[in-house]
Each structure stands twice: as C-alpha cells, then as structure tokens.
Chains A and B, each alone.
Chain A
Amino acid sequence: GGMAAAAALLLLLLLLLLAAAGPGPGRADAGRERRDALREELLLSPLPTGDVAATFQFRTRWDADLQRGAVSHYRLFPKALGRLVAALGVRELHLALTQGFWRTRYWGQPPLQAPAGAELWVWFQPTVTDVDKAWKELSNILSGIFCASLNFIDSTNTVIPTASFKPLGLANGTDHHLLRYAVLPREVVCTENLTPWKKLLPCGSKAGLAVLLKAERLFHSSYHSQAVHIRPICRDASCLAVSWELRQTLTVVFDFFSSGQGKKDWSLFKMFSRTLTDTCPLASQSKVYVDISPKNKENELLEVSPPPTSVHEAIVQGERKTYAVYDLLSPSLFNTSRSLNVQLKWQRPQDSSEMPIPTLHAQRYVGGYGLQTGQICTLIYNTHPYRAFPVLLLETVPWYLRLYVHTLTIITKGKENKPSYIHYQPAQDRRRPHLLEMLIQLPANSVTKITIQFERALLKWTEYPPDPNHGFYVGSSVLSALVPSVTAMKDMDVEQSPLFASLFPSSDGSSYFVRLYTEPLLVNLPTPDFSMPYNVICLTCTVVAVCYGSFYNLLTRTFHVEEPSRGGLAKRLANVIRKFRGVPPL
C-alpha cells in the first residue's frame, strides 16, 4: 500500500515537472507548412517469458497524391518507393522479411506479426489492366531494392485470397482480383536486407531512434522482422484528400533470461550496445514507450530509470496497458544527461508459473509417416472464457503436396464444426498452389482441430532446390479474427495515438483485429539420389571399357606356341641329380 502510494506521488511530481517544463519551442519550422512529416517510435515490452521485444516504427506521411504521376519531388518519402508506387499503380503494399517465429502462446499477441521468410501482399489500382505483369515487375524491383530473393515469386506461390487480406488503407471497392499474396518461407533475412531498409529512413541510421539499429545485435536475437507498409490514408477527418503513408517497422526479440543469468533486467545498451544520444531533426515526433503494465497485480514490481517524461495508458489488443513514455523531443530529457539509456529492473524475482495465455493462438504440424502420404494438422485455441468468435483461416499449400479436400475435418470439442464460408482453389501442377480459405466459428474456451490429408508428388529432377534432403517449406497459414476484448476500448484519434496501435483499424470498442501466422512446415518429399546418373555412367563405362579392353586384346594380340626353354626348378634339380648319377638329363 505504502509503496504504491509513494510511486503515485512520484508520478504526480513528474507530471508537475513536465508541466513546468512546458511544450518545447515549436520544432516544426514555424510558419512553414510542411507537406510531409516523420514520426518515429520505439516500443519496448518485456514478454512473459523474460524476453524483451523491441518494436520500431517509422512513419512518413506525405500529403500528396502519388498516383497522379506529377509528383516527382521527394523530401522525406524515399524516391525509390514513391516512383514504384506511381509507375506500377500500387494502391497498397506490405512487405515483411522475417527471421524466426513469433511464439504467440508464450510471448502474447504481437503488435505486428509476420510469417517466417518473406511475405508480400499488394493491392493494385483498378486502372491496372494486367495485374499479373505488374505483380511480376513489382516483385522483381522490390527484390532489387531490398536485396531479397523476391524475384522467386511466380505463379506457383502467388494466390489471390478472397477474404483474408482486406486493404488497410483507404479503399473504394475491394475487388480481390487486384490483390496478390505470396510467401517465400525459405528466405533467409540478414544484414543485406537491413541496410537498404535503413537507407529508406530520412535520417538513415545517423540520428534518432535508428541509431540503435545495429545489425550485429539485431540478428543476435530470437526473432527479427522488418517490414514496409505503404497505404493511402485520409488527410484529415473530412477525408476529402488522400495522403500516403509509409510505415517501416522492425520487431526484434532479445533473449535475456537465458543469457542474463536468470535475471530479466535489461537496458538499451545491453540490447543494442548503443544508447540514444540525439534526435532526428526531421522527426516531428520521437518517442520511446516502455510497457510497464503490472502483469500479476501486486506480485511484480518493476522500476524504469531514468524517470519517464510521461505515462500513457491505453487499451491495446484488449488489454489495459501502462506505458512509460520518453519524449526525445522534449528538451528536458537530454538536459540532465547526454544520452538516454532506458533501464528496467525487477524489484522482486518473479515466478514464471503463471503466464497469461492469449485469447487466440494456433499451432500447426505435419502428421503421418512414410514418404507417400501425410496430413496437415492445425490447432486453433480460443481461451476466451465466455465469448465465441469466428476466425478466417487461409492456407496456401504448394502444388507438390496434393491435398485431398474430402479428408478435410474440423473438430471442436469432439463435434464436427462446419465452416460458414469456404473457398478452395485446387492447385495445378507447376502452375499454381492450393488455396483454402475458411471462416470457422470458435466456441468459447475450445480447441479446434483441422486436418487435411495430402499425397506427395514426384518432382522432375531439375525441379529440386539445392539441398533437397533439407525438406520443402510450406508457408505459414494465416489467421485473421476480430477478437472480443475483455475490457472495453474507447475510440481513439488515430493521429494522436501511438503508432503501434494504429495500423489495423479497430472497428468498434468491443473487439480488436488480430492477424496471426502459424509455424511454417517442413515436409520431406521423396528425393532421388542425385549422383545416381553419374554413378551409372561411371559403372557402365567401366564395364564397357573392361569388355572393350579384353576384346581389343583378343583381336590385336598375336599368339605364339612357345617351347618351354628350360624347365622349372624341380626339373633342373632332377637333372643335377641325374648328372651326378650319370644318367642323361630329362
């Protein structure tokens, strides 16, 4: 009781201090109207397992219409992406490059999840006549910009989802023929993808939050996901004009529990081996949020230092959260010390027995044995105590796994669960993958098991990738749902709320949108012995050569009948004895 009161008092004092400092001098050049603005934000959230997730968001908003083609003078918006959007008629673009897997069951609901590997989904303008051509061209150009193998996106891994991916930005009409979606689960993400991503930031990695983006540390982590989202948004509340928004996000999960001798304490320096020293002069907002919401009531107490400039309370994804906010643009922050090194200490060692379980999570694996058939099992959990809700499942399976749709079973609580919407597009060999979309109702507090059987196809020997014994990846399946929230949410002003809460629009106060990805699968296909042809050639050649050699010898050798000149050793010995005896030799 007393401790909490003291903390509250401290908070009040801080707020007072802040009020005394007042808003800093107008940063945005007074009187000069800027048509573009940059907001940057870092969200640090301790995860229930003891890991720490850091989510960077950089949002460039440009009050201009990129589509008109007349706009070709860029300031904060990167020219490479702007020209791409204008030239190819892109309405919305979402690209994510991810290494590792976000463990929703243990880490909780992520602000933004992405499937392992590369994911690209794009809505084109209705004016684009040949969407497939534009899609191909776009993936090739993006592959050049981000140094990723997006050029491997072709018709065999592209699908047109009918319901799962709705435009996130302004859209009139959602004709899904303008949408393309592809995942490359095998893509490995590394420094060469991070560098071009950083280059798109107006301040590069020279100032502001991006200083922390040190490749050496970012890839020494359990999960790394970087993304680019481009979408048109409303310029103001009346929504008469369009602005374009570029959101660059980067999420990284550091594992401190195992490397930090069982302590969950962390600091910016420990995570990134850098601290924040100055702000990006181009940013109109630059904030660090630290999630300090009490997890188990009074059980755990944590302490952040230095004292935050303010405290922000919000309901994010159905949970009441408290954030300590560091506003890098407030002049008081860098007055006391030259650099900002946010630290978090746990006052009491906490017991990790109780971990909050997210309302919606899922799991997927391959079942069966042998190399001929198998089955894909997906388990979807709804842990909400009393509310049922529907979930949209999107499954893309490559053509070389031949799905048997009649074996599709959906079982919840021992009973068959009939999906209310189902869209299945069968695969065509070497042309397109299977696409299965279902809307499934999840009863409260239930597990739903979805199984479907498949047969493995035999590939042509040139179709195998390098190292085929590693297995073939099947991309993550996508779960999209409006999850009912436990606590009611208020409608927030999107421009004012923190960035991490504003990419997915929340429809009403009672539920929030979640998109989850399951694990990618690794399936073994019957793989031939690739050295076999060469072995056969060698063996046959050797046999032929041996036969040829003896035949050649038979044909070319001349045979003489040769008189034995002198006998063997026995004969000579006998002759010597005979000589002694005076008998004529043999």
Chain B
Amino acid sequence: AARSSVTSRYEMRYRSATAREEAALAAGTAREADAALHALQDTTLGSLTVYVVPETSSLLPQGVTVYVGRHRRALVRAGGSLAALQARLQEVAQVMSFRASSVAAALSDRVPDGQLGPDARRTLKSSLGYEITFSLLNPDPKSHTVDWDIEGAVNRFVKPVLDKLSLVANFSVDSQILYYAVLGVTPRYDKESSSFLLSAHSLPHVINPVEARLGSSAASLYPVLNFLLYVPERTHSPLYIQDKDGAPVSTNAFHSPRWGGIMVYNVEASTAPQASLPLHVDVDMARVMEVFLAQLRLLFGLSREEVPPEFLLESPGNEGLADWELDHLLWAHTVENIATVSTTLTSLAQLLDKIGNIVIKDDVASEVYRAVASVQSAVTKLSLGHLHAAFQASKEAVTCSERAFFDPSLLHLLYFPDDQKFAIYIPLFLPMAVPILLSLVKIVRETRLRRKEPTKMD
C-alpha cells in the first residue's frame, strides 16, 4: 500500500473586532462573553473564530492564556512577540480541529501494531449509524427488584447529545433488563473493607458470558454500543472495581474499547432481615448517565486530556459536547471514511486479480464508479475546508463501495475453483502423459548413449 500522509493547512484571515463584538467582549467573564458572541453570529462547520484580547484583560483568569468556548470560538491573551502569538494560534487550531495524533487514531486499523498507544484503538470505527443499548443486569431478582426510569433518563440526558451527534450518524436507543445475567468473574472478598473487589486484570473476562445474553441486533447492521448497569448479587455486595494499582475506581465503572461500558451499581446494604426481600431499588439515573455519557465521549475519541495546562476549556453543558468537538469528530470520520473506501476498493481489485472468473455486473461497476467519484470529491472538499460537504461525500462513497463489495452476485462463481477442473481432467492427462514421459526418458537415455559412443571410438 502506498504511504499516505495528511497535511494540514490553515487559512487565516485577520480583522479587527466590530463594535458589537467589542461590546460582547466587555462582559465580566469569558463564559458570558462566549454566550454574547454566539448570539451575534453563528459559525460554520470547520471554521474557528479566535479573538485576541489584550494582555491585561480580566476576561481570562490568572495563568490562563487560552479560553475555548462552547461553540467555535476561542479567546487568546495577547502577549510576547507576534511569532509567539502565531504559535499559540496554531496550537488553538490544533486543539479545536485535529492534530496528527487524532488523524492517526482514525486510521489506526491501517497502521501496524505497536506504533500507536492503546488509546488509539479505543475509538469507534466510523459508521453510518450506531445502536445504543442500555442493559440493566439484575443477577439476583430474588433479592433485588431494580427499577430504572430509563425512558426519562434517555430523554433528559442522552437525547440532547444524540441530537447534536445526528450530523455524524444515525442513532437509535433502546434498553432492556436482563435477569440472572452474571459476570464471568467471581469477585474476590476483601476482609479489610468487607467488600468484594474486581481487579483490573480480571475485567477482560467479565463481559463474555454477559455478551451471550445481550442479543445481537437482528434488525440492523449498525454497530452496537452496549452500556451495562450491573447490580451485584446480594451475596457479592458491595462490589468495587480496582484499577491497576489496587485503588478503587471512583466511578465504579470501566469501558471496553469499541464495545461499550459497564458500571457497577451497589445497592445500599440494608440491615433488614431476610423476610423483607426482595429489596426495592430505584436507580439514580443522573449518576449512572453521567458515567455512561463520559464513556460515550471516550468511545467517540473526544478526550480532553491532551490539552496544554494554560488552556481553559468550557464544559460542554447539557449537550455533552461542544461545537468544536463535533467538528473534531467530523474531521476524523471524514478521513477515516476516505481511508475505508480506498481499502475496500483496493481489496475488491485484489480479489478480481486473484480470482479471474468473478463477474462484475453493470450495477456493481456503477457503484464502484460512484464510490471513486464521491471519494475524489470528498478529498477535494476536504482540502478546501468544506467540512460538511466533504463528510457527506465520504459517507456516500462508503455506502457505494460497501454495496459493491458485498454484492451477492460476486459470490456466484467462487465455488468452482481451478483444482476441481484439474481433478476432472486428470484421468485424461495422466494416461496420456505416460507414453510421452517414457519416450522422453528414452530420448534422454539415447542421447546419453550417443554422447558416450564417440569417446569409445577414440
């Protein structure tokens, strides 16, 4: 495969702030200024607006040089030379759009092992849609009657996030309650804290037995994101998850890359006698959804850890992610889609090279042409910075290329391989070869004899 590289190019335009912007910037705090600026003018996908405020401005707290708002705006404190400002702007642009590492993470399937950290493979692959399934696991319905207001929680917490993400993909949300579903690992009893512990190294074995009960999504082909809420059995309560150093994890949750997340929800230990079982439990959905939404952000690669310390990021609020984070996702997914299309089309071409008798019908061919055209337009638009158009084109290209690759007509003739033809012809060729081989042997023997004879004559 050819080595591909991604170059980033920024188009910068400078202007002085308008009077209304000045007025907005005169607000007391950076957050208010951001909100006021957003009321003035909406921003387009893939663009950023950076306001350079005087060094002495009180908008930004002490020690903070860059404030990134909820939308596509940042406030940068002037200071130092123009070159230093330039470097700072560069950094702001990278944080708010993409950097080399995020593009590499999007292409992680195509990069050999070992070159990327473990976090790079955490993010979900780009897809046209995702199914989100919340499952409540109650392994001990005899002791606990667990109720969760999932419908309300989805409407309150998940829906705003998904509405925002609807630009990236289609989402569907459902939930189920599974009884008698146990984890694959028996937790260890810790006498000191009189609790049960799941150590970090046993977590990979937790999911498998549960997975069999979750049920695949029979009705659609989109990848499923599973979020499990596990209420441990009465005999194993309370249950805590330990990290690698043996310290308890504060959220009591963990996530599995590209699969979803699990949270352990401990029921308040009651001193009530056996007779009052089953114990009724109402799940605190705000606490649970906070964890699940954080895991959802991680699964989409929206981590806020790589930010330099002098940056101040505004919390995304109810919507779960800021506008610039959405851009960040779109950049990554567009690049990944383009790479996927090229891989799909390349492997189709390789397959054709290898197996000559595959028939490519006209409709498959036209899908391939459309995929190539769309991917070319996606690349052009991406280089022009038209993020939204580029993403749409890349989605179109993925759809076409997958449709071409998985067309059932490609499989029709695969089951008549060459060795079967050989088996049919061998009763003919083998007996025919015998006299030919014998006469070849004879010729060889005769030439050898003839070569010997002259030496004898001498």
Chain A partners chain B? yes
Q: Is the CB of A537 within 8 A of B424?
A: yes
Contact B427 A538 (CB under 8 A): yes
CA distance A199 to B154 in the complex (A): 26
A46 contacts partner chain B, Cβ-Cβ < 8 Å: no
- Report chain B residues within 8 Å CB of A534: 424
A72 touches B173 (CB 8 A): yes
- Please give, as numbers and ranges, the residues of chain A lying within 8 Å of B164 by CB-CB distance: none
Q: How far is the CA of A538 from the CA of B426 in the complex (A)?
A: 9
Chain B residues 419-440 with CB under 8 Å of chain A are 424-425, 427-428, 430-432, 434-436, 439
Out of B174, B179, B220, B425, name the residue touching A282 (CB < 8 Å).
Answer: B179
A281 lies within 8 A of B176 (CB)? no
Given A79-B174, A542-B427; A141-B218 close (CB under 8 Å): yes
Contact A204 B180 (CB under 8 A): yes
User: Which of chain A's residues have a CB closer than 8 A to the CB of B150?
Assistant: 73
Q: Shortest beta-carbon distance, A531 to chain B, in Å? A: 13
| Pairwise interchain contact A145-B218, C-beta atoms closer than 8 A | yes
- Residues of A contacting B: mostly: helix
* Chain B neighbourhood of A80, CB < 8 A: 215-216, 218
Q: A269 near B: Cβ within 8 Å?
A: no
Asked if A260 is at the interface of the complex by the 8 Å CB criterion, the answer is: no
Would you list which residues of chain A between 216 and 267 have a CB under 8 Å from chain B? none
Of A405-413, A442-450, A543-551, A575-583, the one touching chain B: A543-551
Contact B431 A546 (CB under 8 A): yes
Determine the residue in chain A with the shortest Cβ distance to B443: A556
Q: Chain A contacts of B65 at CB under 8 A?
A: none
A186 at the B interface (CB under 8 A): no
Alpha-carbon distance between A199 and B434 when the two chains are bound, in angstroms: 63
A420 within 8 A of B: no
Residue among B151, B173, B215, B220 having the largest count of chain A Cβ atoms under 10 Å: B215
A336 at the interface (CB under 8 A from B): no
Number of interface residues of A (CB under 8 A): 39
CB-contact partner of B218 in A84, A203, A548, A549, under 8 A? A84
A207 at the B interface (CB under 8 A): yes
Q: Is the CB of B177 within 8 A of A74?
A: yes
* In the complex, A75 has a CB within 8 A of chain B: yes
In the complex, the answer to whether B218 meets A72 with C-beta atoms within 8 Å is: no
| Contacts known (A29-B280, A83-B219, A282-B179); A553 close to B435, Cβ less than 8 A | yes
CA distance A207 to B151 in the complex (A): 28
Closest to A551 in B: B435
Residues of B within 8 A of A207 (CB): 142, 180
A580 to B322, CA, bound (A): 128
Q: How far is the CB of A89 from chain B (nearest CB, A)?
A: 12
Contact present for A74 and B175 (CB under 8 Å): yes
How distant is the Cα of A207 from the Cα of B145 in the complex, in angstroms? Answer: 16
Name the prevailing secondary structure of the B interface residues.
mixed
Counting CB contacts under 8 A, is B278 at the interface?
Answer: yes
Check: A78 CB closer than 8 A to any chain B CB: yes
Known A144-B218, A545-B432; judge A32-B147 contact (CB<8 A). yes
User: Chain A's nearest CB lies how many Å from the CB of B208?
Assistant: 15
Contacts of B180 in A (CB 8 A): 203-204, 206-207
The answer to whether B427 touches A199 (Cβ under 8 A) is no
Q: Do the beta carbons of A549 and B213 come within 8 Å of each other?
A: no
Chain A nearest CB from B159 CB (Å) reads 12
Min CB distance, A383 to chain B, in Å?
45
Is B434 touching A549 in the complex (CB atoms < 8 A)? Answer: yes
Interface string of B132-165 (1 = CB under 8 A from A): 0100000001100101001100100000000000
Q: Are B151 and A281 in contact (CB under 8 A)?
A: no
Whether B366 sits at the interface, judged by CB under 8 Å, is no
Q: Is A202 an interface residue (CB 8 A)?
A: yes
Q: How far is the CA of A538 from the CA of B142 in the complex (A)?
A: 71
Q: Specify which chain A residues have a CB less than 8 angstroms from the CB of B428 in the assembled complex.
A: 537, 541, 544-545
What is the distance, in angstroms, from A502's C-beta to the closest C-beta of chain B? Answer: 25
Chain A residue numbers with a CB within 8 Å of B436 are: 552
Q: Does B172 contact A (CB under 8 A)?
A: yes
Tell me, in angstroms, the Cα distance from A182 to B427 when the chains sit together.
46
Contacts of A88 in B (CB 8 A): 219
B217 at the interface (CB under 8 A from A): yes
Whether a CB of chain B sits under 8 angstroms from the CB of A87 is yes
- Chain B residues whose C-beta falls within 8 Å of the C-beta of A204 in the assembled complex: 179-180, 213
Q: A79, B176: Cβ atoms under 8 Å?
A: yes
CB distance from B367 to the nearest CB of A (A): 21
| Pairwise interchain contact B176-A74, C-beta atoms closer than 8 A | yes
A202 to B142, CA, bound (A): 13
**Cβ of A546 to closest chain B Cβ, rounded Å:** 7
Expressed in whole angstroms, the Cα–Cα distance for A537 and B439 within the complex equals 26
CB <8 Å contact, A141 and B179: no
Proximity string of chain B (163-206) to chain A, C-beta cutoff 8 Å, 1 when within and 0 when not: 00000000011111101100000000000000000000000000
Q: Across the interface, which residues of B come within 8 angstroms of A556, CB to CB?
A: 439
Chain A residue nearest in CB terms to B144:
A281
Instruction: Tell me, rounded to whole Å, the shortest Cβ–Cβ distance linking B386 to chain A.
Output: 35
What CA separation (Å) do A553 and B435 show in the bound complex?
7
* Alpha-carbon distance A75/B137, docked complex (angstroms): 11
Give min CB distance, A228 to chain B, whole Å: 14
Within 8 Å CB of B175, what residues of A?
72-74
Contact between B435 and A552 (Cβ–Cβ < 8 Å)? Answer: yes
Would you give the shortest CB distance from B252 to chain A, in whole angstroms? Answer: 24
Complex CA distance for A206 and B430, rounded to whole angstroms: 63
A503, chain B: closest CB distance, angstroms: 25
Q: Determine the distance from Cα of A206 to Cα of B179 in the docked complex, in whole angstroms.
A: 9
Closest to A540 in B: B428
- Docked complex: A176-219 residues within 8 A CB-CB of B: 199, 202-204, 206-207
Residues of A within 8 Å of B141, CB to CB, are 203, 281-282
B172→A72 contact, CB < 8 A: yes
Q: Which residue in chain A gives the minimum CB-CB distance to B142?
A: A281
Q: Please give, as numbers and ranges, the residues of chain A lying within 8 Å of B432 by CB-CB distance.
A: 544-545, 548-549
- Partner of A203 from the list B176, B179, B215 (CB cut-off 8 Å) is B179
Partner of B427, one of A75, A144, A203, A537: A537
- Contacting pair B219 A87 (CB below 8 A): yes
CB-based nearest A residue for B430: A545
A78-B172 in contact (CB<8A): no
Distance between A195 CB and nearest chain B CB, rounded to angstroms: 9
Tell me the smallest distance from the CB of B158 to a CB of chain A, in Å: 12
- The 0/1 profile, CB within 8 Å of B marked 1, for residues 53-88 of chain A is 000000000000000000011111011100110011
Complexed CA–CA distance, A4 and B147 (Å): 51
Q: How far is the CB of B358 from chain A (nearest CB, A)?
A: 20
Inter-chain contacts of B176 with A (CB < 8 A): 73-75, 78-79
Distance between Cα atoms of A553 and B176 in the complex (Å): 81
Which B residues touch A73, using CB under 8 A? 150-151, 154, 174-176
Quote the shortest CB–CB distance from A224 to chain B (angstroms).
23
Report B276 CB to chain A, min CB distance, Å: 11
A546–B280 Cα distance when bound, in Å, is 89
In the complex, which residues of chain A have a beta carbon less than 8 angstroms from the beta carbon of B434?
549
- Nearest CB in chain A: distance from B183 CB, A: 15
Q: Considering the chains assembled together, what is the distance between the CA atoms of A281 and B180 in angstroms?
A: 11
* Interchain CB contact under 8 A, B219 and A72: no
Bound form: Cα–Cα A181–B436 in Å:
63
Within 8 Å CB of B218, what residues of A? 80, 83-84, 141, 144-145
Cβ A78 vs Cβ B215 within 8 A: yes
CB A66 to nearest CB in B, in angstroms, measures 12
List which A295-312 residues lie within 8 A (CB) of chain B: none
When chains A and B are docked, how far (Å) is the Cα of A73 from the Cα of B174? 5
Residues of B within 8 A of A141 (CB): 218-219
User: What separation, in Å, do the CA atoms of A76 and B280 have in the docked complex?
Assistant: 17
Subset of 7 A-B contacts with CB under 8 Å = A83-B217, A141-B219, A199-B215, A202-B179, A541-B428, A545-B428, A548-B435
Residue numbers of B with Cβ under 8 A of A are 133, 141-142, 145, 147, 150-151, 154, 172-177, 179-180, 212-213, 215-220, 278, 280, 424-425, 427-428, 430-432, 434-436, 439
Known: A87-B219, A141-B219, A541-B431. 5 other contacts (CB 8 A): A79-B133, A199-B215, A202-B179, A207-B142, A549-B431
Nearest first, the 7 closest Cβ-Cβ pairs linking A and B are: A545-B431, A72-B174, A541-B428, A541-B427, A206-B180, A74-B176, A87-B219
